[in-house]
Structure 1
């Protein structure tokens, strides 16, 4: 596969998100939807659902993102596909294959949400752009924070989130980011909701962001 640096100036992404894609990602050719379209339609998958996957492939197909800390690294590559043997899942399509074997799949929901589907479907972000922004912010925060703390389970309830403001560009649903004067907090509850296991909740506190870190917190 011929991989090329990616330059994507899509408006929904912040400057930080666009820089992240241009500097940290590569993109290979993806024709998965085109190659399988007729087969999916013959198997009874609605044309509108296939069209949504085709649009996803047009914009994001072949994009390889750096691994995330959560969800076993995230999708290996963004490719629109259909759930195997699940023609009943009208509106959902697969966002890309896992990097490793997992008990869940990465999916795009009926309203464009990006999430995981295991014991149950859980939307993590309201859009694929939100997932990309979250990943970009995690890499940014890790570069500039003086201290990174990981908190799990019920201890997350003790975080002073009322003193922080939500980071809107990540379009958070089950997973959210919070911005403070000199720190960022990421809260991941998707795995816990997917498998009914509160102990799987995870938060990361990125404290002591320096001047350059603070400049990039807003993403503008």
Structure 2
């Protein structure tokens, strides 16, 4: 029987499912039910606690390989107490970072995966999108003939005419693009979160087999 109460992989592509099966681990996660009454006493709405519990059931304890940006991303997907933003919405932690960074990895009001520092910045519209982006980065980095990295204002000069967005990554501030045997990953989340345009970054993977792009 699976260790997951809810199958976290059911909506992922075959590529991402293979990535998780081969490279991720599952460890014990935070038990939301043990904190429910205390959180209710703090004025946190039951609907928000239910969101945290649903996240914990599906993703809690999943330890993924490091992300290529954000100093590796969360070490383990594991939630914590919800908090209200200045805009009035609720966020909760997606997982503690694996390195010291000036922001937290959070789940947004609509289930977005993002970073919260100077401001809340959704990176992907779903947690699945974050996992898909990690899987695609691993896939492309092991199959590309050349990898070119650009930063800062050079990211704005990228020519993406003729490229199509990779839908499964559900990109918002960060996104992936494909054309022919090329993949381009664009990372704008850190720059937007910290109001630091020099943090814009992109990776261009050339010579990747076209069949490797899709599910």
TM-score, normalization by structure 2: 0.92
1:91 positional shift: 2.5
Structure-1 residue corresponding to 2:115? 116
- Correspondence list, 1:1-220, <5 A: 10-83=9-82, 86-87=83-84, 90-209=89-208, 213-218=209-214, 220=215
Contact kept in structure 1, 2:30 and 2:80, CA below 8 Å: no
| Larger CA deviation: 8-17 vs 57-66 | 8-17
1:38 positional shift: 1.9
Aligned residue pairs total 210
What do residues 53-79 of structure 1 show as CA deviations (whole Å, max 9, x unaligned)? 000000000000000111111011111
SS in 1 for 2:105: strand
Contact kept in structure 1, 2:112 and 2:125, CA below 8 Å: yes
Give the whole-Å Cα distance in 2 for the aligned partners of 1:108 and 1:56: 9
1:216 positional shift: 1.8
1:158 positional shift: 1.9
1:90 positional shift: 4.2
| 5+ residue gaps, structure 2 | none
SS in 1 for 2:156: helix
Give the whole-Å Cα distance in 1 for the aligned partners of 2:186 and 2:101: 21
Structure 1 residues 9, 37: closer, same or farther in 2, change over 3 A? closer
Give the whole-Å Cα distance in 2 for the aligned partners of 1:96 and 1:9: 16
Give the whole-Å Cα distance in 1 for the aligned partners of 2:84 and 2:73: 24
TM-score, normalization by structure 1: 0.90
Give the whole-Å Cα distance in 2 for the aligned partners of 1:29 and 1:18: 20
Give the whole-Å Cα distance in 2 for the aligned partners of 1:59 and 1:9: 5
What do residues 29-53 of structure 1 show as CA deviations (whole Å, max 9, x unaligned)? 2133123222211111111101000
Give the whole-Å Cα distance in 2 for the aligned partners of 1:200 and 1:9: 31
CA-atom RMSD in angstroms: 1.8
